[in-house]
Every structure is written in structure tokens, then in C-alpha cells.
Structure 1
Amino acid sequence: MRALARGGASSARAARAPRTRRAPPRRLAAARPRAASSGDDAAESGWRTLGGTTASSREDSGWIAVQDEPSVSSPEEDYERDFSGRVVYRPRGYYYDAVRASDAGERVKVDVGVVDKRRARTFCIAKRLAGGSDLVEVTMERPLGIVFERDTEGRVRVADFVDGSKAGRAAAVDRLQGLNAIGAAAPRRGDVLRAFTASTLSFGPRAQLLGDLSGTKRAVVLFGADDQPWGKVSSSLSSGLVRDGPVTLILERHRDAEMQKAWTPEPAEARGVRGDASRSGGGTRRSGAGSAWRGRAWTWEASRTR
């Protein structure tokens, strides 16, 4: 069962998306739940509505896709559910893939949904680093001031911090206090970015039918960074506003300090960075976004501050 984290009617592209697991043919839900979000997936698939007459209940549960979420009492699927009966998902870009209890991975709770009505939802993140690692959840206010860079294995890493930034100060305190990996409240250099909250616009059903944008609302979804194009990751990182609330980062951290340092930045040529803003996710400076290219890295200083 698959879901795109932003509302709207599915398209041919969404229907063609590869499925990780099929349910028995006799069941109506033949694929993992799908809900759509923003970025390239939403732009191309047309997932643009918040959910008709049941929008209020969806907002209350943090669910913003146009189709109903599987009922908390629905017995036809064996997908994992949290204590409130909501399906547990694995984020993959702007898609959510439902998981089963037997699926490997740690369960984390992240606040998602319409801004000012965010609700904690459970997500599944499987560790990918060899040699022992921990998942670290960091929630901070914008602007952060983190320099992200992709390594030669395609993973997005925390490469550095902007001087005087919130993330930089938190990292300095983290080093002084010697917090362990699990109790850490700050990112560290070398952390792998596994997922993060990104902002999107959800348009009400009248927008599709009548062009009425009065029901437009800002929403927050969890973006899965694994195996995603660099341009999509960087643009999603800069998608939010200060008024959207804090940003949550799901980071994977080596337990061994030397392994944490042992990574090689991807050459700029491999990403096609030639000053082309549309391909790289940003030019030398993106107007009003508070983000910038610095060499091969993407500096996430703030996102918009309005």
C-alpha cells in the first residue's frame, strides 16, 4: 500500500510507480496506500487537493491525501498500525509506502499534516550504514545553517555548519557535553540525512473544479531522502517557511567516530553542477530562499523567512 503525501487525483505516473509488495488480488487495496506531497512527484502527478468534505478528519490525523486513509477498523490489510490504529509508513521521496510489522527498521514519530494542526505519525526507517549506527531525530527552528553534501555512494551527509547558525551552536554544545549518539539533540558532521520534514501547498477541492484557491493550506510531510536525485533533495530542503514550524531531521550516525569521518564528497561533475539552477537545485544564491551553493555543497541556511 503506497501513499503520496499530498492530496490530489492520481496520474498515469503514480499508477506506474514501482510497487514494493502486492496484496492478494481479491482485496480492493492491491497496492500499499498512496498519498502525495510536493516537489516533482506532486507537480507531475497532479496530487493537489486536501480531501473534500472529510478534510477536517484528515487534518486531525495528519493525513492530507485526497483519498481516504485506510480505516482504523479495516481488517482487510495486514499492514502495521500504531497505537491509534493508523498505518505505519516508510517515506520514499514524497511517497509513503506502508510497512508490515515484520519489515525491518526503527519506528520514529514525526509531526506532519496541515501547518498549525500537525499530528504525530509513526514512520519506519531502516538503518543502512554498516558497522553499527544509530538513528538520531533532531528538531530545530529555522534557520538551521547546515551544509549538506552528497558522498560518492549517493548518501546526503552533514558536511559543515554555517558560522553562528543554530545548528552550528547546537553542534558545539553537543561536543562540549559529550552527549551520546542516541541522546544527541544536534546534528554532527558525517551524519547521513535519511528523512526530513518538507513543506508543501495543499489546495482544496474547489481549486480543482472551480479554480477557487481560498481553501489552500500549507502542510508538512516527511520526505524520504534515500536514493533521491540531488536536485529534488536540495529543493525540498528549501521548501519551508519559518511560520511552517520547526524542521525535523532523521539522521543516521556511525557509532565509531572514525567511520563517521570516513566518507568522500561526490565530485561536482557527477551531479552535473554547472551553475544551472534547475539541475542543481539552486544557483549561486536563490532569491529569498536563504540557501546557497558553496562549492559542491548545498547550504540550508533558512528557507524563506516570511
Structure 2
Amino acid sequence: MSQQNDQTGQKEDMTGKKVWFITGAGRGMGTDIAKAALAVGHAVVATGRNPEKVAHAIGENEALLAVKLDVTDPAAAEAAIQAAVDRFGRIDVLVNNAGNFYAGFFEEITPEDFRAQIETTMFGPMNVTRAALPVLRAQRSGLVITISSTAGIAGGEFLTAYAASKFGIEGWAESLAPEIAPFGIRTMLVEPGFFRTELLTPESTRYAESTIGDYAQRTEQTVTSWKSMNGLQGGDPAKLADALIRLAELEQPPLRFAAGADAVGLFDSRAKELQDQANAHRELSSNLAHDA
């Protein structure tokens, strides 16, 4: 009984279980997170554009509900949250994982593709979280996990659209945290480095068409390098999924979790860069107030 349209309408006995609601669960990291949650005895609402594909990827399990969801559609988000509550009665952990990747130099990414990136990886988590918050507030409990990226900590060339969406989601989640903390709801941002997921596959990554000669050589080099990296990334998504299960059990999960040794290194270097930038013109920066 894993499909949304197979529901009997009866809420299950959830004693001792948590209910995980995971977006983008049909492949990649979302599938691993769903499997990890089920493995320790939790119930999972796994969502994706194709619920049959989601159910097949995760495997048959009585504690699994696969639900159709396009995160860019607010009405679909509300319907998916309602389906979760109808089946399990509550939501304990929301994982905003669904994503894609529009890569390319800013001048060559079309405005439509740039907006499509923002719609999925910034407004998508917002749509789902907005739909879930009334449930979490009523419970006076819950954890909102948002899968960000090291591209939300430090930008870089070829990442303008993706980094813009991830920087946006970082600011949103950090600001949301104190708004909902009084209701017993926590938030956690996860910044993975390079993990062996499907992010760099043709199904997830769309490269901007090379149209400007000044960028042509760098575009070719970058695309070739990234395609060669696919399937060879160092991070193990199954281990990350297990780590998230552990972190979700904490009374106070971290606001941010650097996922992977490369992510920890980037956090360290970014912190130093910011400190160096603060110090570079400290006197000038500190003397911009009105004269007394």
C-alpha cells in the first residue's frame, strides 16, 4: 500500500515512530534518505513527480507512502502534505531535497532557465515548508531539513543560477529558524560537498548553450571536467543519509551541517576569507557613522 491512491483513509499506529516527508525521493540522495529512515523503523512519505518510480526506487514497505509532487506547484505541495497527514496523522521531519542544476556562465544562461532554477531549488522548498508549517505548529514539534549545497556558502564560476538559489535558501532557512523555534520546530541546513548522487547526470543537470566566443573554451573545459567527475565523487550518499537520521534525533540539531570533508574544508576557508575581508579595510568600514 505505497501509492497515494491506494489509501484506505485509516491512520496507522505511529507509536514510537517518526514520520519523514521527503521530496525528490525517486532517485539520488532522496532515495537513500528514505531507505535509511525506513531501516530504523520510521514511516516515510516519499514524493516525486512520478510516485510509481519513487516506490520502485525505494522498495516495497508497509511504512512507505509514495505521493506525486512537483515542488514548484504550491497546490500540489498542500495536497501532498494532506495525504501524509491523512495516512500517518502527523509529520515529524520534513526533508527538502528535490533539486536540479542549471549550469553555465551567467551571460549564456537564458532568463527562463535562471528563473526555472530559482523556482525549483529556492521556491520549491519554500512551497513545501509553507504547506507543512501549519501541521508542525499544531503539533508544537518538528524538524525542517533543507538540502542546500556548498554552493550556498561560496559561489563560483558556472554556478551563478545554482548558487543564487542556494544562497537564497540559506538566508531563508536561517531567518525562518527563530520565527518557528517558539513552536518547538527546528531547522537544519545541510551543505553537501561532492557526493556520488545523480546531480551531474543528464536527468538533473542542464548546461547552458555555448553562444559567446569569449566563454567557449572555458565552457568546454568545465563541462568536460564535470561530466568526467560524474559517478566518481568521493562522498557516499548512504552515509550522509545515516548521518541525517542521527542528527534528526538530537534535541537541538545544528543550524548547519557541513556534509563531507570537502564541505568542512570549504567552511574553514570561507570563514577565513570573511575574516580577511573584514580586516582588509576595518578602519574605513568602522568609521562611516554620522559625526556626533
The answer to which structure has the higher strand fraction is: 1
The two structures share one fold, judged by TM-score above 0.5: no
Is the radius of gyration larger for structure 1 or structure 2? Answer: 2
